[in-house]
């Protein structure tokens, strides 16, 4: 079995397809060599050799070092240098490199090959004695740590650093850079003494021994504690092993004709097709990262200050060579590349190339433009785009310069959770009812509740002190496409004083603040906000697509996605406005229309409360009769907007106490308004109180206790449908029964709905197709999905509640421990944000399989928050669902994710 | 295909094994005839014919009536009577009879064969003209209703009754019995006129036509609305059909030499082997049921009053014949029989026999004594015993005479739920802390909470105004084997005034009341109570088994059951006392020891609270260090009692706020006691408040947030185990992690437990076997049981929580709708009382299968309340569990049910 693959000049034995053998770094080094990119010569020992090493009881496999030295000789020949040669010493780096990047987890040794002889050769070759000795003392320190285990225990200080500190004191200096050559030489002596003391042996002077020991050490580091932990957390198999890259050292710090830098073939922030990067003269790779000196821009075009000296100006020839290189690489890899390069005495070397990380927005633009350039196919583009990148096209944005200004004026206040993207600026109000007081307001609450919906709708944005990514505020804001920063614990809000304290400042009602739901940042005062291009074009229709390149890109990409995806995409919308926004973003129907959100308006809440406090069925029916025309007109509005697309309407879901006030004062006021006894109303409120309302008297349980509620809602739906149909607009109402756990609950409710439908359709003499179905949100419903599917025409997974009940987490309370759970990697992600596929998902799969087997015509969708999460959308595709439904602003994301799901299957 | 099976004399074509063809009634009539019991001759048309009738578009199958008339002739020959004969008319009854009894659901026609001619023959034969005409007018009414559909709609009055009422007014009488013969004749005329009006046809005078129409009508009634509904509710298949029994009429109302009655071969209330029954002279079957006249006892032995005239005295010869009959029947059927008989002119006829219903207690005694008599095998006895009958052997009892006295003195107050059987009498206290104030107290609360445990333990019984069969009070009381009446809504309790109002009486603290947890009845004042024999023998050991026949019976039956069952039976016990009671009842280990119940004592609750309000890990550890020795000594006590039997200890489960007070006043007092700031304590209490505590920060989530709690508990367990082991007593501790949903939660906690175990066992140098396992109570755990089983040594289903989360019911709140659900038969039984096998059970089966497949050594048990429910125990057996665990007083029931499960499988 071949264990070593060299890359020397353009003669490379490996290639980019050999990541499993050579690791990511090794495979790309070989590939670059192969296509003529200048890389320092070297070779890669396969990851399989690492496994052999372990199987062989951590001994080097027989013959390995022979193979290593044979390849080493080829490198020496190529460079005219020799490992251990006193005049022309070859130095090498020994680096780990697994199949996937495990940054910082495993070990590296640089400058290997130095000893008291070769250091002199290096000094001569480089013409820089100090450089050579600095390399030497660094090598001993690094090799001592990594290979010889001369490292501090937890409580100790690094013994090498102790020596350095002592030396600094002796010399009266504070910085390493102030050491003279002689100091370096003394350090080398002391370091070697330290190694002898700690290990009982002399520091190895034979570079071949150094090399063998270093390779062993890298193999060993595959199973160090932190690497094992990292693999566990990230699900990387232990039996992959790591490759080892041995490569000739090159130096960017050999003088002013040397340099080092990083570059991206396109702008990773914006996706713009421009060469982008930075470099430092006379420096090593670490210096760029460490940020001690300010790097310079790579070319004239990206200079922001005339005093900067770009690589293009300082090293014009090398720059041109680098441009060739980057163009070659991008074309070759057909994706944006992130490169590390070193210039040693005006000679360019590439040390690494890999697919560059980018923002979501950039992922969209790069993929789109690469299709235009003919570099990739549309399918490839779809695969590469971060679905969240598309949502960034929808959010209003702060003017970047104004943000800079605010920061410089110390107006940055705090950072919370970026719960719903977009920028909002306005006057602070602490009560939903006050949202209309100012032309533009930002609603600030400790947390929000359903009563606040009206105010949330009016406000520019929402800021809360408590609650996570799936708190009421976050969910509703995302649904509205409204900026929201949630759970900002630094806010000290006093409702009484109508003010909040943060960062030592007191902000009162009426003061301006600005919140950025994309970043979670909060600023004092106003910052200029503008709606996104896409919203201007498709929703506000104030801009033409022709003059809006972002909007054009956005809609074209979604068209490509639509050509691929199999999942339908619907929306969760409760109003004609939401429905119309969702249609603008491509929704193919409404997957969830929550009727209870319609119950909070002025007249309505009164009628609802009257219904709740009723003593008899008759009284209740009377109150419901008041609600009926209002509900009917709500539905008419939505049906008209949806114009022939299916609309799923969910019957009343929340427990009744959500509609009643809870403080004594509020109750007394309400009693007065209603003309009833305050004591009686208090008793009613108390009787409706529940210990665990999430699992209490709600959903279809209400409709079973009070069939007249279901009947009223069914009548409103079918009367509305008939009225709209009579106007010549097609309507497909689908009535959904919530919180079903037992098929008999569903059958009970279906009976009421069917009776109302039949009566009204007969009376109105209208041809109307409709469906009746159920939420699947109680685990029992999923487990008995076969029984339910025999009676229901559709299922819609309510994965918010299904997650709560399957995992036994109350969404309202889990904040206390769920953050810790995700930190401890008990769950990979917050299961309310992204489906817990192994647990909740398993139950969903059971339900889909049972349901479709029992009823081949069954339509299955999802209407929980997860319908707008890309991983969850893909999961829904994989388990054979028919559609997902999500908030209007997530519709584009879902369309793309659904297409990705298809492509990932291939 | 033979459609008609006759029974004439001893010549019967059917037998008791043909219930599927002949229905229960028909099969038993044939069987009785076959063994020489006098039954009026007749024949049965098979249920399959009923199905033919429906397949044939509700037309009589060709040839059926020929077969009917052929059999009818045989009946006529036997009796010397003839259907339609003017002199010697045969009258018949036409009755439905399905495979299982569907009481009152289908139709019956009596006295068929009467017309204007035959009525005269009947008058002559019976020598009683009024009787004949009364039969005739009743026949027209019944036939009119059942066969001719002359019946009122919902809003109408019965048209026949209108005629009768009018006639009464005319005659100036108030009761049917006052009608003269002429009146009857007039009624007949008017009834026939009514039929003509309503149906447009004459009332059929041809008895053969009457017969065919009546048979059709009975077939028809299989699919009447109420029969369909009954079948749906009771899970009876629609394709069983009903048989039709046509039988010669006999009359107990032909004069004083005639009679009718019902009898049981043993006492159905006590099980005593004595002939038991009652009869009425010159009466029909309905009269006994209707209770218009007081029935007389069947024999001299059962007379309670010398003025009574028993059947033995009035009809000595018939009585002797009946004694022969009952003995024959019981021997033949090998079970206690419930018989209906009629004496027509001193001639005995049996009209029905069936296995008699009995109380649970009687089921035990009858089965036991039948084994002694050699009538049945032990296995048969086990199968027949109602497991709840055994629990009745454990409950204290009220003296029956004293109860009578109390009722006569109008001391009956109200009836609640019979939540935990047994009788208690004592002085009322309204606060748990007052339970010790009086020698014998009854704790009366609106509802109870964990803080009340101490007082509940002291009180004789518990009475609550709120809460169902699985409320805290009910569950704890059953666990303690203490009488409890729960959810008695009629109580109007005022804690402030320390009094309650009920039935117009005011009962103050210190007043005596008596509660019967077996019946749910509540009495004013004292009633004499005595402990059951079984408790005196096995628990109190104040009585010898030899002189306690009930105790002997009880323990022998359980020995039989132990010989059969495969499931282990453990107990849920938190104290040495409970553990020792459970062992006396045969528990084979502890399946659930709840550590939190140990946290409420005086010193302990202080330390617990100190732990909760700690600001740092250090403070928390200090408080936990105080708890450790107390927990350790608790465990030592339990380990000693269990003496080598396994003991599962569950780590802390409830949310921390359960240990803190909630009113401002209590918090202030506690803050003072603890020497901390009241504001700080209030803030702590507020921060621990949860919207849905059931799904909040509890179970292993606490142990993950505060690993030091788990560590303290693990140390207490292993130190206790080592200490007890050193005394030479064997110990098998099994540590159980609660509320696991994800395998990583379990692995996290197991790490802490194992570390503590290893350290202590090493330190103490003791050989100790132990196990670590987990509750399966979160649906996600059940769904991923394979992953968990790879890490855990045992599973214990916590079916209380598993039911809550799978069905989405909060046990505390579901009372509001769950009663209605069971009434509407959405769930067959309260899923908290008896496992919801189709839903929760399906999930359990998934978990057992996944778990045992992943880990063949995995031990699987149940420790929810369901472990003490017979149907649930059987289900646990069927899905392959290893043991059930239940409260000590349910252990006997579980042992029996486990044996029944084995026998039912055969």
Contact B572, B886 (CB under 8 A): yes
Q: Which residues does chain A have within 8 Å of residue B745's beta carbon, measured at their own beta carbons?
A: 826
Cross-strand partners of A39: none
Contact B879, B848 (CB under 8 A): yes
**Which distant-in-sequence residues (6+ apart) come within 8 Å of B282 by Cβ?**
B252, B253, B254, B255, B256, B258, B259
Q: What gap in Å lies between CA B265 and CA B256, rounded to an integer?
A: 25
> Any idea of the CA torsion for A466, A472, A473, A478, to the nearest 10 degrees?
140
Name the phi and psi angles at B442, rounded to 5: -120, 120
Exposed/middle/buried for residue A544 (C-beta within 10 Å: 0-12, 13-18, 19+): exposed
Q: What gap in Å lies between CA B45 and CA A440, rounded to an integer?
A: 84
Among A690, A742, A807, the residue with its CB nearest the CB of B810 is A690
HSE-up (13 A, CA, CB side) for residue B490: 16
Q: What gap in Å lies between CA B133 and CA B131, rounded to an integer?
A: 6
Name the phi and psi angles at B112, rounded to 5: -70, 135
Exposed/middle/buried for residue B663 (C-beta within 10 Å: 0-12, 13-18, 19+): exposed
pLDDT of residue A288: 62
Exposed/middle/buried for residue B149 (C-beta within 10 Å: 0-12, 13-18, 19+): exposed
Question: Which one of the listed residues A722, A807, A863, A886 is annotated catalytic?
Answer: A863
Interface test with B, best of A784, A808, A823 (most B CBs within 10 A): A808
**Which tokens sit at B217?**
């009508």
DSSP letters of A493-556? EETTTTEEEETTEEEETT-EEEEETTTTEEEES---EE--HHIIIIIS--S-GGG-HHHHHHHH
| DSSP secondary structure code for residue B538 in this structure | I
Q: What gap in Å lies between CA A797 and CA A835, rounded to an integer?
A: 12
Question: What percentage of chain A reaches a pLDDT higher than 90?
Answer: 71
Q: For residue A6, indicate whether it is catalytic.
A: no
Contact A637, A576 (CB under 8 A): yes
Q: What gap in Å lies between CA A861 and CA B733, rounded to an integer?
A: 48
Classify the phi-psi angles of B203: left when phi > 0, otherwise alpha if psi is within -120 to 50, otherwise beta.
Answer: beta
Q: Contact B812/A839, CB-based, under 8 Å?
A: no
Residue whose C-alpha is closest to residue B638's, from B680, B687, B594? B594
pLDDT of residue A824: 80
Closest chain A C-alpha to B812 CA, distance in angstroms: 7
Write a three-state SS string for A710-778. HHHHHHHHHHHHHHHHHCCCCCEEEEEECCCCCHHHHHHHHHHHHHHHHHHHHHHCCCCCCEEEEEECC
Other CB atoms within 10 A of residue A763 CB: 11
| DSSP secondary structure code for residue B652 in this structure | -
Exposed/middle/buried for residue B336 (C-beta within 10 Å: 0-12, 13-18, 19+): buried
Contact A68, A61 (CB under 8 A): no
Question: Which one of the listed residues A472, A657, A866, A877 is annotated catalytic?
Answer: A472
pLDDT of residue B499: 95
pLDDT of residue A254: 82
Name the phi and psi angles at A521, rounded to 5: -85, 145
DSSP letters of B465-494? SS--TTSHHHHHHHHHT--EEE--TT-EEE
pLDDT of residue A420: 77
The C-alpha angle B566, B569, B575, rounded to 5 degrees, equals 165
Low-confidence residues of chain A: pLDDT under 70: 154-155, 233, 285-293, 468-470, 478-479, 481
- C-alpha distance from residue B730 to each of B588, B727, B839 (Å): 14, 9, 40
Contact B868, B529 (CB under 8 A): no
Radius of gyration of chain B measured on its C-alpha atoms: 33
Q: What gap in Å lies between CA A83 and CA B57, rounded to an integer?
A: 103
Among B739, B806, B814, the residue with its CB nearest the CB of A780 is B806
For chain B, counts of helices (H) and of strands (E)? 35, 32
Buried/exposed code over B842-878 (b: 16+ C-beta within 10 A; e: otherwise): bbbbbbbebbbebbeebbbbbbbbbbbbbbbbbbbbe
> H-helix or E-strand containing A703?
helix A700-705
Exposed/middle/buried for residue B383 (C-beta within 10 Å: 0-12, 13-18, 19+): middle
For chain A, counts of helices (H) and of strands (E)? 35, 34
Residue whose C-alpha is closest to residue A102's, from A206, A242, A217? A242
Any idea which residue has 């027989």 for tokens?
A62
Q: Which residues does chain A have within 8 Å of residue B824's beta carbon, measured at their own beta carbons?
A: 704, 744, 748
Q: Which residues does chain B have within 8 Å of residue A817's beta carbon, measured at their own beta carbons?
A: 697, 701, 704-705
Other CB atoms within 10 A of residue B144 CB: 21
DSSP letters of B593-651? EEGGGGG-SHHHHHHHHHHHT-SSHHHHHHHHHHHHHHHHHHHHHHHHHHTTSEEEEE-
The C-alpha angle A810, A684, A615, rounded to 5 degrees, equals 125
Q: Which residues does chain B have within 8 Å of residue A741's beta carbon, measured at their own beta carbons?
A: 807-809, 839
pTM over 0.90: no
Interface test with B, best of A775, A779, A837 (most B CBs within 10 A): A779
Q: Contact B842/A783, CB-based, under 8 Å?
A: yes
Question: What percentage of chain B reaches a pLDDT higher than 90?
Answer: 70
Q: For residue A332, indicate whether it is catalytic.
A: no
pLDDT of residue A264: 92
List for chain A the helix, strand, coil content (%; round to 5).
50, 15, 35
Q: Contact B808/A840, CB-based, under 8 Å?
A: no
Give the SS3 label for residue A45: strand
Contact B147, B109 (CB under 8 A): yes
Radius of gyration of chain A measured on its C-alpha atoms: 33
Closest chain B C-alpha to A73 CA, distance in angstroms: 50
Helical H runs in A291-315? 311-314
Low-confidence residues of chain B: pLDDT under 70: 154-155, 233, 285-293, 468-470, 478-479, 481
Question: Which one of the listed residues B807, B863, B876, B886 is annotated catalytic?
Answer: B863
Q: Which residues does chain A have within 8 Å of residue B809's beta carbon, measured at their own beta carbons?
A: 695, 741
């Amino acid at each position: 079995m071949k264990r070593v693959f060299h890359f020397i000049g353009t003669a490379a034995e490996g290639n980019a397809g050999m990541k499993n053998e050579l690791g990511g770094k090794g495979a790309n080094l070989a590939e670059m060599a192969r296509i003529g990119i200048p890389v320092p010569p070297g070779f890669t020992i396969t990851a399989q050799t690492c496994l052999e090493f372990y199987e062989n009881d951590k001994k080097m496999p027989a013959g390995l070092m022979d193979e290593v030295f044979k390849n080493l000789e080829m490198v020496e020949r190529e460079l005219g240098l020799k490992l251990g040669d006193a005049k022309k010493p070859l130095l090498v780096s020994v680096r780990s490199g697994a199949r996937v990047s495990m940054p910082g987890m495993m070990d590296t040794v640089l400058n290997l090959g130095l000893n008291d002889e070769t250091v002199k050769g290096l000094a001569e070759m480089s013409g820089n004695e100090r450089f050579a000795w600095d390399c030497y003392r660094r090598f001993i320190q690094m090799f001592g740590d990594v290979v010889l285990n001369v490292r501090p225990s937890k409580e100790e200080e690094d013994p090498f650093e102790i020596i350095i500190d002592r030396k600094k004191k002796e010399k009266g200096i504070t910085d390493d850079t102030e050491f003279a050559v002689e100091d370096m030489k003394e350090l080398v002596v002391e370091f070697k003494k330290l190694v002898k003391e700690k290990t009982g042996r002399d520091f190895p002077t034979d570079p071949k021994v150094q090399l063998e020991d270093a390779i062993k050490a890298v193999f060993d580091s595959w199973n160090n504690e932190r690497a094992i932990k990292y693999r566990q957390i990230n699900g990387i198999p232990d039996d992959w092993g790591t490759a080892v890259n041995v490569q000739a050292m090159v130096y960017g710090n050999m003088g002013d004709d040397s340099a080092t830098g990083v570059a991206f073939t396109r702008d990773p922030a914006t996706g713009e097709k421009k060469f982008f990067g930075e470099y430092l003269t006379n420096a090593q790779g670490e210096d760029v990262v460490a940020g001690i000196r300010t790097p310079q821009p790579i070319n004239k075009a990206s200079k922001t200050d005339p005093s900067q000296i770009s690589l293009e100006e300082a090293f014009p020839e090398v720059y041109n060579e680098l441009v060739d290189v980057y163009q070659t690489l991008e074309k070759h890899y057909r994706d944006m590349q992130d490169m590390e390069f070193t210039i040693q005495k005006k000679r360019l070397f590439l040390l690494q190339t890999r697919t560059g990380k980018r923002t979501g927005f950039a992922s969209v633009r790069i993929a789109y433009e690469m299709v235009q350039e003919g570099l990739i196919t549309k399918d490839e583009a779809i695969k590469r785009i971060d679905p969240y990148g598309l949502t960034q096209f929808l959010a209003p944005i702060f003017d970047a310069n104004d943000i800079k200004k605010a920061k410089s004026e110390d107006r940055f206040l705090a950072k919370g959770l970026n719960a719903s993207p977009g920028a909002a600026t306005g006057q602070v109000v602490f009560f939903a009812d006050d949202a209309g007081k100012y032309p533009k307001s930002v609603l600030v609450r400790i947390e929000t509740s359903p009563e606040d919906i009206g105010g949330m709708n009016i406000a520019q944005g929402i800021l809360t002190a408590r609650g996570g990514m799936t708190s009421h505020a976050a969910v509703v804001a995302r649904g509205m496409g409204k900026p929201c920063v949630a759970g900002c614990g630094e806010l000290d809000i006093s409702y009484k004083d109508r003010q909040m304290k943060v960062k030592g400042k007191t902000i009162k009602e009426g003061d301006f603040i600005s919140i950025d739901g994309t970043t979670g940042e909060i600023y004092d005062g106003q910052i200029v906000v503008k709606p996104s291009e896409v919203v201007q074009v498709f929703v506000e229709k104030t801009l033409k697509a022709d003059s809006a390149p972002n909007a054009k890109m956005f809609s074209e990409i979604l068209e490509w996605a639509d050509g691929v995806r199999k999942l339908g995409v619907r929306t969760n919308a409760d109003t004609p406005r939401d429905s119309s926004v969702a249609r603008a973003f491509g929704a193919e129907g409404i997957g969830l229309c929550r009727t209870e959100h319609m119950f909070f308006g002025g007249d309505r809440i009164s009628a609802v409360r009257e219904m709740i406090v009723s003593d008899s069925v008759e009284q209740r029916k009377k109150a419901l009769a008041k609600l009926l025309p209002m509900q009917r007109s709500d539905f008419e509005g939505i049906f008209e907007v949806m114009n022939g697309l299916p609309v799923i309407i969910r019957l009343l879901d929340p427990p009744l106490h959500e509609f009643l006030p809870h403080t004594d004062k509020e109750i007394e006021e309400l009693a007065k308004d209603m003309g009833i006894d305050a004591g009686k109303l208090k008793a009613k409120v108390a009787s409706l109180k529940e210990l665990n309302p999430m699992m209490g008297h709600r959903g279809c349980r209400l409709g079973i206790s009070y069939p007249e509620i279901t009947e009223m809602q069914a009548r409103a739906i079918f009367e509305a449908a008939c009225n709209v149909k009579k106007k010549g607009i097609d309507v497909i109402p689908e009535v959904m029964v919530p919180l079903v756990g037992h098929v008999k609950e569903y059958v009970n409710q279906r009976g009421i709905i069917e009776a109302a439908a039949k009566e009204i359709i007969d009376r109105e003499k209208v041809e109307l197709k409709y469906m009746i179905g159920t939420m699947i949100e109680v685990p029992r419903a999923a487990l008995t999905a076969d029984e339910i599917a025999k009676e229901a025409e559709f299922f819609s997974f309510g994965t918010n509640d299904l997650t709560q009940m399957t995992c036994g987490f109350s969404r309202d309370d889990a904040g206390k421990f769920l953050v810790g759970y995700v930190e401890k990697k008990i769950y990979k992600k917050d299961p309310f944000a992204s489906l817990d596929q192994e647990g909740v998902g398993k139950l969903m799969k059971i339900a889909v399989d049972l349901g479709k087997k029992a009823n081949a015509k069954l339509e299955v969708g999802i209407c929980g928050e997860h319908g707008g999460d890309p991983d969850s959308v893909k999961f829904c595709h994989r388990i054979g669902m028919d559609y997902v439904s999500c908030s209007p602003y997530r519709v584009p994301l879902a369309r793309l994710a659904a297409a990705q799901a298809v492509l990932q299957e291939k």
